[in-house]
Amino acid sequence: MTDQLLYATETALNGLMTGVMYSLVALGFVLIYKSSGVFNYAQGVLALFAALTLVGIQKGQVPFAHLINAMTGGHLESFPWQVPALLAILLTAGVMVIMAIIIEKLVLKHLVNQAPIILFMATIGLAYFLEGFGDVMWGADIKTLDVGLPQGINETIETVTGDLFGYGFFIDNLDLVATLVAVLLVTALTIFSQYSKQGRALRAVADDHQAALSVGISLRFIWILVWSIAGFVALVAGIMWGSKSGVQFSLSLIALKALPVLMLGGFTSIPGAIVGGLIIGMGEKLFEFWIGPLIGGATENWFAYVLALIFLVFRPQGLFGEKIIERV
Amino acid sequence: MFYREAGDFKTSYRADSQTFPIRLDRMGYFAALIVAYAVVPFFIDDYWANAVFVPFLIYAIAAIGLNILVGYAGQVSLGTGGFMAVGAYAVYKLMTTFPEVPFFFHVILAGGVTAFVGVLFGLPSLRIKGFYLAVATLAAQFFLVWLFNKVPWFYNYSASGQITAPDRTMFGIYITGAQTSAVAKYLFCLVILTLVALMARNLTRGTVGRKWMAIRDMDIAAEIIGVNPLSAKVTAFAVSSFFIGIAGALLFSVYLGAAEVGESFGINKSFLVLFMVIIGGLGSIFGSFAGAAFLVLLPVFLKNVLVGALGWPTDVAAHLELMIVGALIVIFLIVEPHGLAQLWRIAKEKLRLWPFPH
């Protein structure tokens, strides 16, 4: 193989891995959209909040330290303990569940039967609120997240491909772990929704709210459940992205990267989120690799959107989305 | 008792189809105009102009523009920031290329350029609907911001990548640049806002506006009764982008003076204007004003209270501000999903009967 082709292959592989990371965020969107018809813009901020909380618990930070200091003039910093990673993750998952309950009680309950745009705007408001809340609670400085995931370049792959092609592929260990986690997560979600009682209820709600209500499924419980699962998915995404690039405000912007993934895959399809993520991840890396240098680089910001836009013109419901049927 | 249409007889078709058919409404409208043109300019100083009035006027233009697209034609757009950037860069290129043409025409032309770009990005709306369209308009947002960052021709090859508004005058008075007085900025924006609001009001009352609303309520049904969806959607995108482009041009040249595209016209700007439209009230010109006023005043108010009165550090205040704005938006949507305009409507209904219960 020529060098150019080898580079391209490496870029494509890395793109696929990035795509998996996008899919992790997109999954949370799909879950909520499918079951409640809410287009949850706050998913990215949920991931940021989860990551912030995880770091905060792990390092034993005092919540609201800044605010308390500002109000009382004290100098609170952190508790004198560190929490082991696994326990911290469990605690954070607990926080996300509480969050889901609060969101349902304070926001969603009151917005039943409103137009989708209103619900969408409410989640943007929620995103603003959570962003400020996370910052006030844990401080806005950039934090490093370390839960013991392997970092750096995978040397085995580098030597093996080096022997085979005379050129070692650089693949991040973390990306490999992310891929593995994504596979596990999707498998777990599929098993949950296909074989458990709650999962069946969830699918029923997704299919038809009123029919589900009439056979005795509690909508509110399902919504809490879905938001909890979405919170958990956000936590996983937050751990992966946080380990990769640090926990900071820009983490919430990955939600914007997940949107074209959703468009491409269809808002209602879990496989769509995965396949869409892979296509977008690979597409944008290859585009940047080949076309990027010709037109000034940094094309990753918009390529995904334009690709999704062009794609949608030909297939308005996305790759795997349900066919949009309009009746007068 | 005082606010009513009873006894207000119309004797001509002209009087019957005027913009404000109720006398008190009409008086309120003229009173507002008189206050805006003849009272405020005498009291305005730099702080009030820069913190409150000029941003309010400019955002009101943008909100009217977006309201036409989202509120009247039902096409949700998240590309407002990108379209404002088109207006800003268009006016910059025009100002630097044709310095002898009056600045007013530059602003209008910049709106025209934006309208063209808006139509281009609006064409997919014929196939893509709902949230898919909302996300698709993000393509415009990101692509346009990237374009203005990467192509040096747009910022005249300046080293910083910023665009800076050159000094321009109208009738010998500075409108842009450092020497501009607060009154000149205010009045210039006010004149344009008045024109825009009049145009929007009358467009939405006429054939075009009715077509937009038919498309919004159900596009297939509208098509069956003879509304051409292509022309309705494209005109909605064109008119909306025209106004948004004007707002972007004013924001850059009159208000900011210098702009960097990612910072001044980022995705947050799109959300800000969308919030104004939603909080103000979808499908209402008055709502656009109310929403713009609310979201311009709120941060000023919060900053004065948190930093000024309570003396908290600015970073904590900034985060609290995010929280409060977010919470207020959610509360607003829960309490009154149809926005401030609906509150106004309810108040007027109550006023018709007041002070008698029946």
Residue B83: what pLDDT? 93
Q: Are A281 and A15 in contact (CB under 8 A)?
A: yes
The answer for residues whose C-beta is within 8 angstroms of residue A25's C-beta and 6 or more apart is A43, A44, A47, A234, A237, A254, A255, A257, A258, A261
* DSSP secondary structure string for all residues of B314-343: HHHHHHHHHHHHHHHHHHHHHH-TTHHHHH
Distance CA B121, CA A244 (A): 35
CA-nearest residue to A327 within chain B is: B220
- A36-52: pLDDT as tens digits: 778 888 888 888 888 88
Phi, psi dihedral angles at A281 (to 5 degrees): -60, -50
Q: For residue B322, give the nearest of A128, A298, A318 by CB distance.
A: A128
Q: Check CB contact of B323 with chain A, cutoff 8 Å.
A: yes
Reported confidence tier of residue A23, pLDDT bands at 50, 70, 90: confident
CB contact under 8 A, A301 and B334: no
Closest among B260, B149, B266, B136 to A250, alpha carbons compared: B266
Chain A residues closer than 8 Å to B221 by CB: 328
Angle at A44 between CA A42 and CA A47, to 5 degrees: 110
pLDDT at A76: 67
Burial letters A245-270, b for 16+ CB under 10 A, else e: eebbeebbebbbbbbbbbbbbbbbbb
Q: What is the DSSP letter of B12?
A: S
Helix, strand or coil, per DSSP, at residue A143: strand
Query: From the centroid of its chain, how far is CA B190?
Result: 12
> Cα separations (Å) of A120 from A40, A219, B103, B330?
6, 19, 39, 10
Q: Give CA–CA dist B137/B125, Å, rounded.
A: 9
Q: Which residues contact B72 (CB under 8 A, 6 or more apart)?
A: B204, B209, B212, B213, B216, B236, B283
Give the gap in angstroms from C-alpha A146 to the nearest C-alpha of chain B.
26
Any A CB within 8 A of B324 CB: yes
Domains of chain A by residue range: 3-314
Question: Using a CB-CB distance cutoff of 8 angstroms, which residues of chain A are in contact with residue B139?
Answer: 260, 302, 305-306, 308-309
Residue B242 C-alpha, separation from nearest chain A C-alpha, in angstroms: 23
Of all residues in chain B, what percent carry a pLDDT higher than 90? 21
ipTM of the complex: 0.81
Q: Which residue of A has its CA nearest to B327?
A: A129
Please, which pLDDT band fits residue B239 given cuts at 50, 70 and 90?
Answer: very high
pLDDT at residue A1, rounded to an integer: 56
Handedness of CA B313, B318, B322, B327 (dihedral sign): positive
Given an 8 Å threshold on Cβ–Cβ distance, is B330 in contact with A133?
Answer: no
Q: What's the whole-number average pLDDT of chain B?
A: 85
Most confident region among A177-191, A310-324, B56-70, B172-186 by mean pLDDT: B56-70
State the amino acid at position B68 in one-letter form: I
Contact A129 B142 (CB under 8 A): no
pLDDT tens digits for A223-279?
888 888 888 888 888 888 888 777 777 777 777 778 888 888 877 778 888 888 888
Select from B132, B142, B224 the Cβ nearest to the Cβ of A263: B132
Rounded Cα distance, A303 and A145, in Å: 29
Q: Supply A95's token pair.
A: 């926080």
> How far, in Å, CA of A149 to CA of A144, rounded?
13
Quote the CA–CA distance of A25 and B229 in Å, as a whole number.
35
Chain centroid to Cα A154, Å, comes to: 24
Q: Which pTM was predicted?
A: 0.86
Measure the CA–CA gap between B205 and B199, rounded to whole angstroms: 10
Q: Residue A181 above 80 pLDDT?
A: yes
User: What per-residue confidence (pLDDT) applies to A328?
Assistant: 64
Answer whether A122 sits within 8 Å of B322, measured CB to CB.
no
Total residue length of chain A: 328
* Segment B225-233 mean pLDDT: 89
- The lowest-confidence range among A157-171, A173-187, B6-20, B151-165 is A157-171
Min CA distance, A101 vs chain B (Å)? 16
The predicted-structure confidence for B158-214, as pLDDT tens digits, reads as follows 777 788 777 777 777 777 777 777 888 888 889 999 999 999 988 988 899 999 999
A75, two tokens: 């100098």
Tokens of A66: 């800044």
Distance (Å, rounded) from C-alpha A227 to C-alpha A207?
A: 17
Q: What is the pLDDT of residue B242?
A: 94
Contacts of B320 in chain A (CB under 8 A): 67, 132, 136
Average pLDDT over residues B243-250: 92
A157/A122 Cα distance (integer angstroms): 46
Q: What is the mean pLDDT of residues B276-284?
A: 86
Which residues of chain A are within 8 Å of residue B138 when distances are taken between CB atoms?
A: 256, 259-260, 305
Which residues of chain B make contact with A26, given a CB cutoff of 8 A? none
B:271-300 residues touching chain A, CB 8 A cutoff = 271, 274-275, 278, 282
* Adjacent-strand bridge partners of A143: A247
User: What's the gap in Å between the CA of A104 and the closest CA on chain B?
Assistant: 12
The residue whose two tokens read 């990769």 is A244
- Phi-psi sector, A208: left (phi>0), alpha (psi -120 to 50), beta: beta
> Hey, are the CB atoms on A135 and B267 less than 8 Å from each other?
no
Read off the pLDDT band of A122 (50, 70, 90).
confident
Q: What is the pLDDT of residues B31-89, one digit of tens each?
A: 888 888 888 888 888 788 888 888 999 999 999 999 999 889 888 888 899 999 999 99
B38 touches chain A (CB under 8 A): no
Structure tokens belonging to residue B250 = 């004013």
- Tally C-beta pairs within 8 A across A and B: 147
- Chain B: residue whose CA lies nearest to A309: B136
Concatenate the DSSP letters of all residues of A40-104 into one string. Answer: -TTHHHHHHHHHHHHHHHHHTBPTTHHHHHHHH-----B-S----HHHHHHHHHHHHHHHHHHHH
Q: Please report residues of A whose CB lies closer than 8 A to that of B145.
A: 301
Contact (CB, 8 A) for B72 and B222: no
Count of H-run helices and E-run strands, chain A: 14, 0
Nearest residue of A to residue B220 by CA position? A328
Burial of B45: CB neighbours in 10 Å, binned 0-12, 13-18, 19+: exposed
Residues 6+ apart with CB under 8 A from A76: A62, A65, A68, A69
CA dist., res. B33 & res. A160, Å (int): 77
The residue extents of the domains of chain B are 22-266
Q: Which of residues 194-253 of B touch A (CB under 8 A)?
A: 218, 220-221, 224
Q: Which long-range contacts link A164-168 to residues 24+ away (Cβ below 8 Å)?
A: A165/A1, A165/A6, A167/A3, A167/A6
Residue B52 at interface with chain A, using a CB cutoff of 8 Å: no
Fold of A3-314: ABC transporter involved in vitamin B12 uptake, BtuC (1.10.3470)
> Which tops the pLDDT comparison, B80 or A137?
B80
pLDDT reading at A73 higher than 90: no
Residues B103-142 pLDDT 10s: 888 889 999 999 999 998 888 888 787 777 888 888 888 8
Nearest CA in chain B to A306: B139
What is the rounded average pLDDT of the residues B230-250? 92
- Find the helix or strand (DSSP H, E) in which B164 lies: strand B163-164
Do B139 and A120 make contact, defined as CB atoms within 8 angstroms? Answer: no
Contacts of B329 in chain A (CB under 8 A): 121-122, 124-125, 128
Q: Is the pLDDT of residue B308 over 90?
A: no
Task: Give B145 to chain A, closest Cα distance, Å.
Answer: 9
